[in-house]
Chain A
Amino acid sequence: MGNRKRSYKAEKVIERMGKKLNRQMVASLVACVHCGLCTEACHYVLANPGDPTYAPAYKADQVRKFFKRHFDWTGRILPWWVKAKSLYTDEELNELKDTVFGKCTNCRRCSLNCPMGVDYATFNRMARGLLVSVGVMPEGVAIVSKDQWEIGNQMGVLKEDYVETLDWLSDELEDELGDPAVRIPIDKMDADVVYSINPREIKYDPRTISDAAKIFYVAGENWTMPSECWDMTNFGLFSGDDDLGGAVGRRLYEKVVELRGGKLVISECGHGYRSTRCEAPNWAGMDVEFEMESSVLTMLRYIKEGRIRVDKTKNKIPVTFHDSCNNARSCGLFEEPRELLSLVVEDFREMYPNRAENYCCTGGGGAMSMSEYTPQRLKSAVTKANQMKDTGAEIVVTSCHNCVDGLTDLIRHYKLGMQVTQLVNLVANAVVVEKKVAVPVEAVPVMAEDNVLKGYRILVTDDEPDFVTFVSAVLEDHGASVSRAYSGDEALELARREKPNLITLDIAMPGKSGKEVFEEMRADSDLKRIPVCIITGRPELRRLIYDRPVPPPEGYMDKPVTEDGLLLNVRKILETAHEKKSSEA
């Protein structure tokens, strides 16, 4: 292999590849005949016509070439004959990083379209793992992985924040349904169901938790949520780090055993379901004795068993369904969500192609956390956007949090004007609550609702006057005192002067952008403790959530926002921040 000097990292990547290879991967690495049939299976290719570097076989060859050079006999003897090539420099590792992280979401669509059965997604993940092992990875992947190792969940949510949020949600549910039994049970021993969630839910999408709690309550389920080790997401799947994958899975499994839980129910998250249900036992090298199921199956079972009744007329708006790649192509979960949808919505419109042939949302494979590849992610989303547009639906439903974010970004980018929601939201909306409820939902006292924000000062920042007017009106109607800013500079000035209890912040604004304002605030000792809720349609938000150059915002919402959604998020931030302050005092 000549006398060319190899960098330490390149040396390690090659050395570790030998240890990572298994028979499935080797067969996939040697079997490709370069027939090109995988080419048009990839959404990146369809969005970038004429650029062969996106073709699955081409991308696979970037990994295959150093496999051939070091492990395959023809490549060792006549490397140029089979395009075998070793890795030497850190620059080459960076180029490989851009391919395996930036040009592929590991959606496995090409694998299912390969006549030879080459599973490119599997060895692309292996290549990611090799790079991660020498520290070559997108910044967001590094940060999220670190939090999952150290704090135990991918968004770095602390135990007290988690428990406070669950308590707050319990208060809300108790107010809404008028029954203390609706409270979310934490660390309850011997529950039949242990419910695990995605940290995105506790941090930015609490509605999904309260909706699930409402369904469990109506079903009369004996359930609980763990106070620790509750994260069912797993960045090991995205980073290719089997050790992280195994550790995260093991933590959750051991918690269920510790609580003597009967079954682990996994909330709607494609990669979380795949990792927890299917992959982590393999990574952790352990056999899991208890049952695990997706919450989609749980909700469907409740309806079939008559434990909950649903009224589909409550969901009248036309909906379509997006199959998460991890659910559909790697776990065979595609009929059940449709069956459930048919029970809870009036107008369901199929998206084509669908099920295991569906196109990726473009946010998979950890892409949402890799802000450096955002432009190519959004460009590659055109196929998905056209698929969605063709349905004529107003809402796209998906059983995956990554897909929620990925689809939200593309809806905004391609101006589709659709909303994204999850099955749990639709089921909770359709569920018939009877008898046990002391105060019917419709009869929640209006006065109490009107003043929920009384005493809070909120600074609303956006360069769109109509949007400022809408947000301000909602907040003022509920008792808040509102200041308005139409640019970044104005926001900073008002924040310094008024020290509000909360700032809502847009990202794209003339002058100082919301991102700059946010970073400046976090660096300012006077302002850094003021909670911020970013309300935007810009994908730059993802960088603040995943790369976290500064502590992430307390909340975020994707435009367009609804009155209910706005109120829920604003109240959650204000009230949990208030409780935190009180407990600190």
Chain B
Amino acid sequence: MSGLLHFSEHSLQEFALGFMALVYIIRLVWLIHFKAGRDRQAQTGAANTNPRKGFIYSWANIAMPWAMESTRTKFFLYVQFAIFHLGVTAAIGLSFVIPYAPGLLESAALVIILKTIIGAAFIVGVMRFVRRLSNKYMRAISSPDDYFSLTLLTAWFFFAYLSVPNSTESGEWHLLGYFILTAFFLVYVPFSKISHYLYYPFTRYYLGKTMGHRGVYPMRHVPQPREQR
């Protein structure tokens, strides 16, 4: 392993992680300094709903594609979402496995699983990019950050895919590319849309709490004949 690759896998990652954590803490402090609105009114809606059930349902919403019309009727987009985010999880995990537990990659099964997930996520990344470019509505709402973040992640998947199973037989360029992109990604995330997962617990908590208090969440799914046709 070259000194540059060692630096990229360790010192650079540790610095980037530390930086990201610091910026995230600042960001959370900033968000929390805004006062939270309060629901003074007595609860409405069905007796089996309440704020607690509401926010738990809201948080769990991500794993319930049937819960929202938008994911229920666009199931293929939901599958893409799932693959893409599994890919992110796998690629982040890989950035810890290679430097700190490389022995795990001796498992052929794990290599296949990682390659499949990350490879699929790369394909989804490309599809999402095409959708963002070709769909009029998506173009209208997209900012340079949206295009760049997607490109960055898709390129990162590409290098992550090549980096499994941590082989340097054909050189170190793919590993260097992966770790340098990981570090860049970590530093860039707090300033970009990618930081949405930081806000997700908040948005869904507050929406869920309100909707639970108002008797809307947990939503009772009533079969809609048009969907069944």
Contacts and interface: CB of A to CB of B under 8 A. Distances in A.
Interface stretch (B1-9, B97-105, B116-124, B199-207): B199-207
Interface in B123-168: 135-146, 148
B68 A27 contact: no
Interface stretch (B12-20, B177-185, B212-220): B212-220
Nearest to A39: B137
Contacts of B109: none
A81 B144 contact: yes
A453 B39 CA distance: 52
B93 to A, nearest CB: 22
A278 B214 contact: yes
Contacts of A27: 31, 199, 202-203, 206
Q: Top 3 A-B pairs ranked by shortest CB distance?
A: A332-B215, A332-B45, A52-B140
A83 B40 CA distance: 36
B29 to A, nearest CB: 12
Interface string A46-79: 0000101101011001000000000001100000
B40 A118 contact: no
Contact of A82 (B69, B145, B215, B226): B145
Contacts of A281: 40-41
A50 B225 CA distance: 27
Interface in B35-94: 35-42, 44-46, 49, 58, 61-62, 68-71, 73-74, 77, 81
Q: Chain B at the A interface: mostly helix, strand, loop or mixed?
A: helix
Nearest to B212: A332
Given A80-B144, A332-B46, 15 more contacts: A24-B37, A28-B203, A32-B193, A34-B193, A55-B137, A57-B141, A113-B68, A117-B58, A277-B44, A278-B214, A279-B41, A288-B41, A332-B214, A333-B215, A355-B222
Contacts of A407: none
Interface in A500-532: none
A288 B207 CA distance: 23
B170 interface: no
A409 to B, nearest CB: 25
Contact of B138 (A24, A34, A73, A328): A34
A72 to B, nearest CB: 9
Given A27-B202, A55-B141, A353-B226, A287 B220 contact: no
Contacts of B216: 112, 328-332, 356
B32 A23 contact: yes
B58 A37 contact: no
A277 B145 contact: no
Given A55-B140, A113-B70, A353-B69, A24 B206 contact: yes
A41 B41 contact: no
27 contacts: A22-B34, A31-B200, A33-B193, A37-B71, A39-B137, A40-B70, A40-B73, A50-B136, A55-B137, A55-B141, A58-B141, A81-B148, A83-B143, A83-B144, A112-B219, A115-B71, A115-B81, A116-B196, A116-B203, A117-B206, A117-B208, A118-B203, A292-B42, A329-B216, A331-B214, A352-B226, A353-B69
B224 interface: yes
A21, A114, A116 pick with most chain B CB within 10 angstroms = A116
A37 B77 contact: yes
A30 interface: yes
A335 interface: yes
Nearest to A73: B191
B70 A41 contact: yes
B11 interface: no
A508 to B, nearest CB: 35
Interface residues of A, number: 67
A163 interface: no
B141, B193, B206, B214 pick with most chain A CB within 10 angstroms = B141
B140, B142, B200 pick with most chain A CB within 10 angstroms = B140
B41 A354 contact: no
A428 to B, nearest CB: 25
Contacts of B199: 27, 30-31, 116
Contacts of B148: 81
B225 to A, nearest CB: 6
A356 B219 contact: yes
Given A23-B202, A111-B207, A281-B41, A34 B143 contact: yes
B88 to A, nearest CB: 13
B207 A34 contact: no
Contact of B37 (A22, A116, A117, A118): A22
A74 B191 contact: yes
Interface of B: 31-32, 34-42, 44-46, 49, 58, 61-62, 68-71, 73-74, 77, 81, 135-146, 148, 191-193, 196, 199-200, 202-204, 206-208, 210-211, 214-216, 219-220, 222, 224-226
Contacts of A33: 146, 193, 196
Contacts of A80: 144
Nearest to B23: A73
Contacts of B210: 24
B61, B81, B145 pick with most chain A CB within 10 angstroms = B145
A36 interface: yes
Contact of A26 (B31, B135, B139, B211): B31
B30 to A, nearest CB: 8
A333 B45 contact: yes
A277 B143 CA distance: 40
A38 B70 contact: yes
Nearest to B68: A113
A53 B32 CA distance: 32
A427 B40 CA distance: 32
Contacts of A45: 137
Contacts of B143: 34, 81-83
Interface in A354-374: 354-357
A282 interface: yes
B141 A36 contact: yes
A285 B35 CA distance: 14
B34, B137, B192, B202 pick with most chain A CB within 10 angstroms = B137
A35, A53, A113 pick with most chain B CB within 10 angstroms = A35
A405 interface: no
A268 interface: no
Contacts of B40: 281-282, 285-288
A547 interface: no
A282 B213 CA distance: 14
A231 interface: no
A23 B222 contact: no
Given A119-B207, A330-B216, A357 B224 contact: yes
Interface in A2-30: 21-28, 30
Interface in A72-115: 73-74, 80-83, 111-115
B136 A282 contact: no
A352 B45 contact: no
